[in-house]
Amino acid sequence: MKEEDTNQAALVKWADMHKNIGPFLFSIPNGGSRNIIEAVKIKKTGGKAGVFDLFLMIPSEIYHGLFIEMKSKKGRLSEKQKEFQKRAETKDYCTFVAYSWIEAKDKILDYLQN
């Protein structure tokens, strides 16, 4: 597994140990490399380039929910991801990019405190 995938799996495993978080955190499998048949199917069924990896379906006092993009230590947002982040934030969703599962966990806990 790639570093990004390993970190995302660890974050989901951590979240699943918390009944107030785990059921509300899910992946949005839009990215990754796929064969052409799968890629066409995903696009036809609503897949969108740039959408962040994970969504936490828990509102806060200010946000409707939280989008999380997992990246490797050297990873950078694509232009499509930057566009998605801006659109989500204009609709009152919190977004962040995490470079480790620990960083993502800490940001989720901070988000839930507000």
Identify the CATH number of the domain in which residue 54 sits.
Answer: 3.40.1350.10
Give the structural domain span for 59.
3-113
CB 42 within 8 Å of CB 70:
no
pLDDT at 30: 73
Q: What's the total number of domains in the chain?
A: 1
CB 73 within 8 Å of CB 97:
no
Whole-model pTM?
0.90
Instruction: Describe the strand order of the beta sheet including 54-56 as a list of residue ranges.
Output: 25-27, 54-56, 66-70, 94-98
pLDDT at 34: 66
User: What six digits make up the tokens of 109?
Assistant: 């806990």
Per-residue pLDDT of 19-67, as tens digits, reads 999 999 999 987 666 678 887 887 888 878 899 999 999 999 999 999 9
